[in-house]
Amino acid sequence: MALAVFLAWLSFCLLAGTWLGSLRPTWRRKFLSGYGRNRRVGIAFPEDSPRALTVLLLRQTWFLFLAVFICSVGHILLWTGPRLSQSTPNSIAVALANAAVAGLAIVMLLEFLSPFTFDGGEARVVTAEDYVPAITIRLAQAVGVAGIALPVGAVAIGAGPQHDAGLMWWEGLVLVPLAGSLCIFMGLRAARRIVDVAPPTAPTLYLTDVLRAKALSLMVIAGSVSVALAYNSANAVLKGVALIGPVIPAWANAVGMFCALMVLLSLVTVLTMIGNVGSRMRLRLWPQLEDGQRVELDASAG
What does each of the 302 residues of the chain score in pLDDT, given as a tens digit?
788 899 999 999 999 999 999 999 999 999 999 988 887 788 888 888 888 999 999 999 999 999 999 999 988 988 887 777 777 788 888 899 999 999 999 999 999 999 988 877 789 999 999 998 889 999 999 999 999 999 999 898 888 888 888 888 888 899 999 999 999 999 999 999 999 898 888 889 999 999 999 999 999 999 999 999 999 988 888 877 777 877 777 788 888 899 999 999 999 999 988 766 667 888 888 888 888 788 888 755 54
In this prediction, residue 299 carries a pLDDT of: 56
pLDDT at res. 237: 83
Q: Is the dihedral of CA 283, 288, 290, 292 positive or negative?
A: negative
213-224 burial string, b = 16+ CB within 10 Å, else e? bbbbbbbbbbbb
Q: DSSP assignment, residue 299?
A: T
* 173-188 residue pLDDT tens: 999 999 999 999 999 9
Q: Identify the DSSP state of 297.
A: P
Tell me the pTM. Answer: 0.91
How far is CA 175 from its chain centroid?
Answer: 16
For the chain, which residues make up each domain, given as ranges? 118-290
Task: Compute the distance between CA of residue 11 and CA of residue 21 in angstroms, rounded to an integer.
Answer: 15
Backbone torsion region of residue 35, taken as left when φ is above 0, otherwise alpha when ψ lies between -120 and 50, otherwise beta:
alpha
pLDDT at site 300: 53
Identify whether the C-beta of residue 214 lies closer than 8 Å to the C-beta of residue 278: yes
